[in-house]
Amino acid sequence: MTDIGFLGLGIMGAPMAGHLLDGGHAVRTAVHNSQPAKELTEKGLEVLGSAKDVAAASDVIILMVPDTPQVEHVLFGGDGVAEGLSKGKTVIDMSSIAPMATKEFAKKINNFGCDYLDAPVSGGEVGAKNAALTIMVGGEQGVFDKIKPLFDLMGQNITLVGGNGDGQTCKVANQIIVALNIEAVSEALLFASKAGADPAKVREALMGGFASSKILEVHGERMIKRTFDPGFRIELHQKDLNLALQGAKAIGVSLPNTATAQELFNSCSAHGGAAWDHSAMVRALEMMADHEVAKG
């Protein structure tokens, strides 16, 4: 049994913590904006007063919060994780944040005599609930090997990509691919629908060919059934694409289609859709076409 602190019990963090509890580990968290789900407390989740308290009581501290500023605050703010650390503990950031900031955070945590892994995930709410997440890890091999049994409780495709920051770089690359695939499926189904074809039948046919993808399977169905409750919110994917575009500028790389996908997300957000599922990118294209893929 491992003593685990888990900070960030949102749409994905809550089921991830649940799997760790189911695996027989002691898990504790700190109260922030709301109480944890009753299901978790019934499984034995302990609730403490601060991130500092959680870190002091845990051997492994996992973060699953929205963005770089939140990670920095939870780690180094008042009553933060750093104040509760002692030599030999391991901090794991499973949020999706800036790779360069991650490298700096890792150095600071290492100075406390503690290990650091960045381990962002892909798979969304469904992957979190089914313990089927893809986990992209940056850090040292020995630390990864020690923590791997915990990752196994939350995911299926778990890869040590490289050193600290490389896990986050991999996640940014993942989000570029996902966004561009959503855009492609959106355009294809919108084209088919406005041309008079049944988009459900078109999707069914494409699922058997070279155009088949997880995005076509899951998000194509969302577009047809008009089920845009998250999922993975557009505002979070906007954050990830900002990381991609800012990083690309820093290293002198052009990402023109990533920029286009971001503008489509921006359009959705401007129309009140920041909290829509990211499959709702199709709605930006629909507004330009004055046509919906399907009627819900």
Could you list the active site residues? 171
What gap in Å lies between CA 260 and CA 258, rounded to an integer? Answer: 5
Q: Which residue, among 239, 191, 234, has the nearest Cα to 66 in the 3D structure? A: 239
Beta-strand relationship, 133-138 and 155-162: parallel
Q: Tell me, letter by letter, the H, E, C secondary structure of 122-162.
A: ECHHHHHHCCCEEEEEECCHHHHHHHHHHHHHHEEEEEEEE
Beta strand extents in the chain (DSSP E only): 3-7, 26-30, 46-48, 60-63, 90-93, 115-118, 121-122, 133-138, 155-162
Q: Which three-class secondary structure state does DSSP give residue 233? A: strand
Alpha carbons within 13 angstroms on the beta-carbon side of residue 40 total 23
Q: Report the alpha-carbon distance of residue 277 to residue 56 in Å, rounded.
A: 37
- At residue 143's C-alpha, the angle toward residues 124 and 102, to 5°, is 55
> What residues does 6 pair with on adjacent strands?
62
Query: How buried is 7 (Cβ within 10 angstroms: 0-12 exposed, 13-18 middle, 19+ buried)?
Result: buried
Place of tokens 């492609």: 184
